[in-house]
Amino acid sequence: MIGSKHVLRSRVLVLALLLVIVSASLAGCSSKKANDEAIKIGVIAPMTGPQQFEGQTEVDAVRMAVDEVNKAGGILGGRMITLVAEDDGAQPAQGASAVEKLITKDKVVAIQGAQWSSVSKAVMPILEKYGVPAVTAISTAPDITEGNLPGKDWIFRVIPHDGLVASAIAEFIKTNLKATKVDVLAVNDDWGRQSTAAVKAELEKRGGTLPKIEYYTGGETNFLPQLTAIKNDNPDALFLVGQSQDGSMIVKQLKELKWSKPVIGLGAFASDTFISLAKDAAEGVYSLAQYVDSVDSPINKSFVNAWKTRYPKSLLPDKYAWGPYTATKVIIEAIKKAGSTDPKKIQEALKSVTYDGATGKIAFDAKHQAHPDVYITVIKNGKAVIQTPISTK
């Protein structure tokens, strides 16, 4: 009887020990699974519609940034990053739905985007609702960071907004182009209206006027009515706000009208995409560019070479490549700085993160705005040539 009790007690102890070992093993597996789990970053871009050229470039740039980090061993102890891309169609409602999906279904920890200012404004309340940060690289409407829009605490911007560059544009128009009377043709959205207003205010400070301001809807193909009215007004220069597809058709139609006055653009007027679409009609067009592939810095040369190696059939990188690539690297640096994939901790880390980019150091001010350099360019022999770099600090 005593022997039987001893055997039973031994079996119970062995069983208990086995349970402890199995539990520890399961806990270890669970911990390992959590540590090995991929970190999801989202991107929204216009992959269909009139802005699909820029949208695809944006996604390619984000993917390159992610792949570089993964190839180097990942972050947070070797965890890989997975990119989840959604098409926003350059439409606010579609962008809002895309972000909702990225956060609630795909469980991304941060988002790169949006490209269009109107889309960024539409997604900001959703970022706030779920507590997930975003870094935009293209949206330049001033009130995204300067205003009091819902969700402003959850969005950061690596590109200078139009209020920061308006002074440089106005000064160039007045001093270099010797123009006082300037007419405008701009896309009719938040970006087009706000950038026009900012340049108008700065040019008026310098004694200039913008007597005729015409707007168009993105994706239009016939600009002759607006351009004819502008030509008949006989301004000293024309200021354009638009992306590559619209911009290329505008300058082609200006050539049809035998336009001879200076043209300066804000948007994609220094990009290889614009030049390839506009062909010889792009010659002589000035631009305020947030990025040019000829920026003379070791970091930029390395970026351009990496882009050409990865996308040998692609055009040279423009701001739609540089910006999203930079924004993605900033997000990744913030995750590393936070030491966590908790979106709130990533948002806090973004406030103090720094990144050495192709056009200078990226760091956010109290309003979540970065201040890299910008450039005045002119198209010569099919290439955007830097006239002068301009600080936005």
My answer on whether 140 and 243 are in the same domain is no
Domain count for the chain, please give it.
2
Angle at 328 between CA 327 and CA 330, to 5 degrees: 65
Residue 32 within any structural domain of the chain: no
What tokens does 125 get? Answer: 């309340």
Q: Residues 58, 115: contact at Cβ < 8 Å? A: yes
Q: Which of 232, 262, 289 is the last residue of a domain?
A: 289
Domain that holds residue 255: 163-289
Residue 345 within any structural domain of the chain: yes
DSSP-assigned letter for residue 75: B
**Residue 27 has what pLDDT?**
46
**Helix residue ranges, H only, 2-42:** 2-36
Average pLDDT, the chain: 92
My answer on whether 122 and 198 are in the same domain is no
Cα 15 from chain centroid (whole Å): 59
Residue 336 within any structural domain of the chain: yes
Residue 30 within any structural domain of the chain: no
pTM, full prediction: 0.85
My answer on whether 313 and 268 are in the same domain is no
pLDDT above 80 for 6: no
Rounded distance, CA 294 to CA 384, Å? 8
My answer on whether 65 and 47 are in the same domain is yes
Residue 33 within any structural domain of the chain: no
Least confident window among 4-13, 195-204, 273-282: 4-13
Rounded distance, CA 320 to CA 112, Å? 12
Measuring CA to CA, how many Å separate 81 from each of 67, 75, 140, 267, 340? 8, 8, 28, 31, 13
Q: Which helix (H) or strand (E) holds 233?
A: helix 224-233
Q: Give 255: exposed, middle or buried? Use CB within 10 Å, 0-12, 13-18, 19+.
A: middle
Q: Which of 255, 289, 323 is the last residue of a domain?
A: 289
Q: Give 222: exposed, middle or buried? Use CB within 10 Å, 0-12, 13-18, 19+.
A: exposed
Residue 102 within any structural domain of the chain: yes
Q: Which helix (H) or strand (E) holds 321?
A: helix 319-338
35 band by pLDDT with thresholds 50, 70 and 90: low
CATH of the domain at 306: 3.40.50.2300
**Residue 2 has what pLDDT?**
47
Question: Length of the chain, please?
Answer: 393
Rounded distance, CA 42 to CA 305, Å? 25
My answer on whether 363 and 329 are in the same domain is yes
Give per-residue pLDDT as tens, 120-147.
Answer: 999 999 999 999 999 999 999 999 999 9
Residue 174 within any structural domain of the chain: yes
Give per-residue pLDDT as tens, 366-388.
Answer: 999 999 999 999 999 999 999 99
My answer on whether 43 and 132 are in the same domain is yes
User: Which of 25-29, 30-34, 300-304 has the largest mean confidence?
Assistant: 300-304
My answer on whether 138 and 197 are in the same domain is no
My answer on whether 146 and 201 are in the same domain is no
My answer on whether 86 and 151 are in the same domain is yes
Of 355, 348, 362, the closest CA to residue 393 belongs to: 362
Other C-beta atoms closer than 10 Å to the C-beta of 322 total: 28
My answer on whether 214 and 151 are in the same domain is no
